[in-house]
Structure 1
Amino acid sequence: MTELASNTIASLPGAQPGPSGGKGEKSSSDEGSDVSIQPKDFFWDQSIKYLSSIMALLTVLDVTLQFFRGGGPICMVPGTIEGRDNVTLEVTRDQAAFINTLCQRSLSRAEYYPFFVLIQGVVLVAPHFIWEALFLGQFDFFFSIVRQLDRLRSRDTGKYREKNFDIIKKIDMQFGEKIIFPCYILKLIMQVTVVFASMIVNEAVFQNSYFSFTYECSVSINPPPQGWLLPFDVSCVYSSFRLYEKLKYINLSLLFFALLLILYAIFWCMTRHVEALGSKDVAQFAFESGLRPTDYVEERFWSNDMDFLIMRLFRADPGHGYVFKDIQVFSYK
């Protein structure tokens, strides 16, 4: 069966046989065998990292603008106010500054919106970094073995060496558990939960009415300093609210885009990848050998972590991915 597999594999795209009876040429994948395979994120994971970076940059930009603009509320204080014993007093510059400072405490919670955006971006990407850190060693181990398998092909015939099939079986046993992929699904669920929670907080806690350019400040001073009172509301202007309002719309757009990416990722995880996972190759070999596919190798659909690692391998290096699948498909009777 192994000899038949070797002959069949030699005709597949992953193998490059040399001239019959002569010295085989070194394949392109052999030339790159000394170069390590670096794990790469799926495009949706990479995009979410970019979105989180944009959220952090928006917060930094807002804080920078606030610093240079000297942001703070400016209240429309009348020129005179009524003091004790109905005495009319003129409002001095220091008193007006005091009112501005006092009314800053009356700002709505929208003042903290930029910091919410920053925390939201960190929490959104944190599950991916945690998942990646937990299994980074296994990724490196898997890719290093795959790189060695590619280098062990015969240069004379283009067939894969016999010990490659034994190594593949050992790799299947090593990564035959269901840990990495379920944790990845859990990571996606956590991220989509963060997105929905952030959208709810955006609408429930940071309502659009909180970003009004002007707001009323009710000041109560007791005991009144310097013998003057504020028995009325003061209209204040906080120009930063305009920036916060734009920040909110941008943030909601980023969250919506992140939601689409995560939903696509979940859909991708629930979709059969028959070509990448070798189902087509199994059918072809079974047809040529007169075997039923079910008798030869089981058509797997995320049965263990190996299939997920193969999809990661295709993302990092498609050439190594096809070579690995060629060997794996024909390693089982």
Structure 2
Amino acid sequence: MFLPILAIILGFVLLLWSADRFIEGAAAVAAHLGLPSLVIGMVIVGFGTSAPEILVSIMAALDGNPDLALGNALGSNIYNVGLIIGVSALIVPMAVHSTIIRRELPLLFLFGVLAGVLFWNGVLGRLESLLLLAGFFGLMGWTIWTAMRGKDDPLAAETEQELSSHAAMTLGRAILWLVVGLALLLLSSRMLVWGAVSVASALGVSDLIIGLTIVALGTSLPELASSIAAVRKGEHDIAIGNVVGSCMFNLLAVVGIAGVIAPMETLSLDIMLRDWPVMMAMIVALFVMGYGFRGRQGRINRIEASVLLVGLVAYNVCLANTVLSA
């Protein structure tokens, strides 16, 4: 048990550090290539913050643990809203100014419903997974088009300010960080998956539960760190945009890639009875709070943040009871 636990801890530490280096390198390379800052922020950085989930799920699927991959995707979305938005808005109440984010929130809801429809029959085959990946590439195209047209959006100004620190990085150093970050992401993902599966086997806990808890929390840490930093600098739209983008990436790319590599012939009934409904409840709560209706600006205050955190705690208590009663 000592080596698997050590692998999980070191995997988390390396995952956090390498994800930051990968994002910094990718953003700087894109800046040197002359890409608009909003495209870099929404596509390059957005993809980078989801890289831990994607790589962990690929490793899990390649190792024949698709439940771990699926649990990672659903659990990360639950933590993204419950923990990241909850903690960030508890520190500083968050206002949504960006029209782009208001357009993404309904998309996130629709992708969540699509995932539920595909999960409903208890099977996630290669065809369904390819459909999710097609949705991912469509999302990427729409995101680039939106970013190119949204130069006057408040999100653009925040992104320009956030990415200004990358302008001084030389191209050579940017490529170095990009390569080193990706290599360490692969290594840390492998360590994390091996440690998580070993601990699950030793404790008799399902891969799904491990994916929904330990792995999901660990792969959500990069978004938590970046969102807290963003709200403390007044960049509310970046903080919320990171979460919304990450959740869509998880539903489409993380689940899709894992399902293509290792089709899931028998999905746990708990996914549709417990995990998917909780994820959708979080998404709906974020949509209602952040969208803004009848002329009201989208805003997440400390009371609403507390509700999200309480919901997350209640969900984890439910998971703990499931493990103890097994």
TM-score computed with the length of structure 2 as normaliser:
0.26
Larger radius of gyration: 1
